[in-house]
Amino acid sequence: MLALATFASVRSANRAARVAENAMLENLRPLLVPSRLEDPPEKIGFQDDHWVRVAGGHGSAEVSDGAIYLAMPLRNVGNGIAVLDRWDLCPERLEGDSGHNEPDTFRRLTRDLYVASSDRGFWQGAMRDSSDEMFARTRTAIEERTRITIDLLYGDFDGGQRVISRFAFLPIGDDDWLVVSARHWNLDRPQPR
């Protein structure tokens, strides 16, 4: 009888520990969305001393002879620090329900970008290989003012709780881009829907 009671007690304690761990992780989970339109602009510099200034809720997509520069201000609406790691681009409109590419195929950021909980930050990406087929397609999308889809891979400070968030650059006016988010995928745990 004692063995049965001990087994039941240990099993209950393990279940309670899993629930507590999940609750703690939920409180540390980052979630990135576009910054608000009323947020102040972000000044973003690239490693080759190219600078852009991007208004809240907007994006920047610029083409030069040797590079394509992309940037967007972000807001972390989650409770944990977001550490941006990789990104993927599709120079066309992707619906939120269409899947993402394998994370191993994403482009690695030159540096880690951090967005604190309940704070603003930014993402930046550059393409510098003009012989890359994606370079030509992205240049065309920017010049012809068509939608661009960006998938960002990020996680918490410990490298866990990885998420891919999908953002779309929507052309507005002659030279501006509005940024919207479409979908978020959990990579290390079951999907919420």
The DSSP-derived string for 107-167 is: EEEEEEEEE-TT-EEEEEEEE--TTSHHHHHHHHHHHTT--EEEEEEEE-TTS-S-EEEEE
Contact 106, 88 (CB under 8 A): yes
Flag whether 28 is in a domain: yes
Q: Is 178's pLDDT higher than 60?
A: yes
- Cα–Cα distance for residue pair 70/78, rounded to 1 Å: 24
- Does residue 20 lie within any of the structural domains? yes
pLDDT tens profile 101-133: 999 999 999 988 999 999 999 999 999 999 999
Domain assignment of residue 54, given as a range: 2-186
| Average pLDDT of the residues in 33-38 | 97
Task: Give mean pLDDT, residues 21-38.
Answer: 77
6-18 burial, b at 16+ Cβ within 10 Å, e below that, comes to: eeeeeeeeeeeee
Alpha helices of the chain — where are they, by DSSP H? 2-26, 133-143
pLDDT at 64 over 70: yes
Residue 193 located in a structural domain: no
Q: Is the pLDDT of residue 176 over 90?
A: yes
In a domain, 191, yes or no: no
Within-domain flag for 119: yes
85: in domain: yes
What is the tens place of the pLDDT at every residue in 16-26? 555 445 544 55
- Residue 152 inside a domain? The answer is yes
* Single pTM value for the model: 0.83
Domain count, the chain: 1
**Residue that is written with structure tokens 């991007």 in the block:** 54
Structure-block tokens of residue 117: 């909980």
**pLDDT score for 20:** 45
Position 192 in a domain: no
* Tokens encoding 150: 């960006």
d(CA 145, CA 61): 10
